Amino acid sequence: MSGATAAPPAGAGAERLGSYAPRVEARLAEWQAGRASTRIWEKDPSFWPAADPNDVATRLGWLSLPSGSERLVPEVMELAHEVRTEGFRRVVLLGMGGSSLAPETLARAFGLRPGWPELRVLDSTHPAAVARTVSEGELSQTLFIVSSKSGTTLEPNALFAYFWDRAVRLRPEAGAQFVAITDPGTPLEALARQHGFRRCFLAPSDVGGRYSALTPFGLVPAALVGIDVEGLLANAQAMAARCGPGQAAATHPGLRLGAILGEIGRAGRDKVILVPSRSIESLPPWLEQLIAESLGKRGTGLVPVTGEVDPLDPMGAADRIVVELRGTGDTGASDPPAGDATPRVVVEIPGTVDIAGEFFRWEFAIAAVGAVLGIDPFDQPDVEFAKELARQAMKSPAPSADPTPSAVPVEVADRDRIRARLAEWCGRARPGDYAAVQAFLDPTEPVRQGVRELAYAVRRRLRLATTVGFGPRFQHSTGQLHKGGPPTGLFLQFIDEPTMDVEVPGMSLSFGRIIRSQADGDAQALLQRGRRLLRVQLGRDALAGLEHVRREIGSR
């Protein structure tokens, strides 16, 4: 195995580190001598000199989750039995970021279980997406999970208000159709009590949202759709043991992966290309948040890239590392071209249940990368910035009036201007940049496909690693990286004119107003951080607008 001086741990797969192997092994030797794994388990703040000691003391509860969450199993399974017995056919999760990504990962990986409800995650505020989620005929057979760590997050609160208003019209005791997941003492806990929710699960307050996969945020939705949560926890316990305090750094699953990503990223290869095989396709979006929100701050970080076409194409390879996630029996990615020096790691994931172990391995690894990069991997200082700008936009009597000229969207119908602005935007690209396509659109499958095709055109035109995010979902995932990470992002934001709107009961707001304010706030946050941004108004036919922009970008 080229460049490797120590065998990777079982399950880590192959490594091709080339000239970076010595620095990786040096880091592992340093961690071995410095008792790195033990210090992490002991929550020693000196391991992260750049971190607030309070963050270290209050945000490492995830270390004990594989065993500590076992106490939840009886109550979670009791609820799952109730929901199945009472004939609920679907579970709709109202949550964002860390509250929704782990459940979505698990539900997609395990698939629909016969005789169990299906899980739908609603993490969009586009009025069309909200209105489409549950029809009148489905409403009485739907259980809603309101999931928010703080209990004050705008999106789940607005979505709850909408679906509660609909549910209470069908049955006065609508609380039986609602479950809450939150931290102790939040407004959501109080709301659940007041409205007579079926259950209110309280998560550990010393676990950050992106590290919460093995708390009620991940386990409750998983159990409700028939996934064996005891098996998940047993698998995570096995990985935690392999990552234990006494394990050698060179074969430690978390530290080895952390050393590879941290050292190669610090050397300039900061684009982490995540390439899943078929059975593991649902894992990269969860990894994307963990990497971006943990590491994208203080002008540094790693840029996770998912969904790329031909990810091993050598274009732009000088700034990349490829991480292949390979399920047993799946066909892996093709070997890289001869002469391609892109570092590569293959993570073997034997079965679907082993995703739980990967949750823990990657949490440990990314925490370790924070020490390499000299940042606090547990805070998110720039997340609130865009939220506050969005709140200001919502208070404005004219939320579409952008005070900053650069934030004014260009109309796709203005053919000459859109052509000129796109050419100007493309001309601002630099070697080592990444492009971020941001779609504050209704995330239907045709629109998703249109955005993917456009992103591929951007990648081919600019020869840059290219990411895709739907708003406001990405604001709770990669938004921290965009504002606080390296100033290498080139941002292309799309908005539309919804053909209908949906009012939020009791909030004097509509979902159309919310999503536009969120887009405006994100644009202002990017511009105030000195980021390069082009906004495009697609009008009422988003698909046609996306296709026109794709053709313009691909024509040169």
CB contact at 8 A, 311 and 335: no
Residue 427: Cβ-neighbour burial (10 angstroms; 0-12, 13-18, 19+)? exposed
Question: What rounded mean pLDDT belongs to the chain?
Answer: 92
Residue 349: Cβ-neighbour burial (10 angstroms; 0-12, 13-18, 19+)? buried
Mean pLDDT of 88-110: 96
The SS3 of residue 225 is coil
* pLDDT at site 7: 44
- % pLDDT > 90, the chain: 85
CB contact at 8 A, 4 and 17: yes
CA distance 354 to 106: 11
* pLDDT at site 381: 84
Q: How confident is the model at residue 5 (pLDDT cuts 50, 70, 90)?
A: very low
pTM attached to this predicted model: 0.94
The domain defined by 64-234 folds into Rossmann fold (3.40.50)
Q: Is pLDDT of 6 > 80?
A: no
Mean pLDDT of 349-375: 97
Q: How many CA atoms lie within 13 A of 57 on its CB side?
A: 3
Mean pLDDT of 167-189: 96
Q: pLDDT digits over 197-232, tens only? A: 999 999 999 999 999 999 999 999 999 999 999 999
Lowest mean pLDDT among 77-86, 144-153, 386-395, 490-499: 386-395
* pLDDT at site 3: 37
Q: pLDDT digits over 22-76, tens only? A: 999 999 999 999 999 999 999 999 999 999 998 898 999 999 999 999 999 999 9
DSSP β-bridge partners for residue 349: 327
Can the peptide bond before residue 498 be classed as cis, meaning omega within 30 degrees of 0?
no
Mean pLDDT of 504-517: 95
Beta strand ranges found along 316-355 (DSSP E): 320-327, 344-349
Q: pLDDT digits over 446-460, tens only? A: 999 999 999 999 999
Q: Is pLDDT of 305 > 70?
A: yes
Q: pLDDT digits over 233-286, tens only? A: 999 999 999 999 989 999 999 999 999 999 999 999 999 999 999 999 999 999
CB contact at 8 A, 144 and 92: yes
* pLDDT at site 399: 46
CA distance 26 to 30: 6
Closest to 38 in 3D by CA, of 360, 364, 377, 376: 364
Q: How confident is the model at residue 10 (pLDDT cuts 50, 70, 90)?
A: very low
- Domain range 383-554, its CATH number among 3.40.640.10, 3.40.50.10490, 3.40.1280.10, 3.40.50.1980: 3.40.50.10490
* pLDDT at site 150: 94
Q: Is pLDDT of 12 > 70?
A: no
Q: How confident is the model at residue 398 (pLDDT cuts 50, 70, 90)?
A: low
* pLDDT at site 486: 97
- For the domain 15-34+248-373, what is the CATH superfamily, name and number? Glucose-6-phosphate isomerase like protein; domain 1 (3.40.50.10490)
For 170-202, b/e burial (b = at least 16 CB within 10 A) is eeeebbebbbbbbbeebebbebbeebebbbbbb
Sign of torsion over alpha carbons 93, 484, 214, 111 = positive
CA distance 48 to 387: 28
- % pLDDT > 70, the chain: 92
**Alpha carbon separation from 378 to 262, 367, 387 (Å, rounded):** 16, 8, 19
Q: Is pLDDT of 2 > 90?
A: no
Secondary-structure percent of the chain, ordered helix, strand, coil, rounded to 5: 50, 15, 35
* pLDDT at site 395: 76
User: Who has greater pLDDT, 205 or 13?
Assistant: 205
Q: Is pLDDT of 183 > 80?
A: yes
Mean pLDDT of 338-361: 92
Per domain, the residue ranges of the chain are 15-34+248-373, 64-234, 383-554
Residue 44: Cβ-neighbour burial (10 angstroms; 0-12, 13-18, 19+)? middle
User: Who has greater pLDDT, 11 or 395?
Assistant: 395
Please report where in the chains the tokens 């799952």 appear, as a residue.
80
Question: What ranges in 319-414 are assigned the alpha helix state H?
Answer: 355-373, 383-395
Q: How confident is the model at residue 394 (pLDDT cuts 50, 70, 90)?
A: confident
DSSP 381: T
Q: Is pLDDT of 1 > 70?
A: no
Look at phi and psi of residue 35 and say left if phi exceeds 0, alpha if psi is from -120 to 50, else beta: left
Q: Token pair for residue 225?
A: 């759709």
CA distance 206 to 203: 9
CA distance 100 to 94: 8
Q: Token pair for residue 1?
A: 């195995």
Residue 321 amino acid letter: I
Length of the chain: 556
Q: pLDDT digits over 464-484, tens only? A: 999 999 999 999 999 999 999
15-34+248-373 and 383-554 in the same fold: yes
Q: Is pLDDT of 97 > 90?
A: yes
Q: How confident is the model at residue 520 (pLDDT cuts 50, 70, 90)?
A: very high
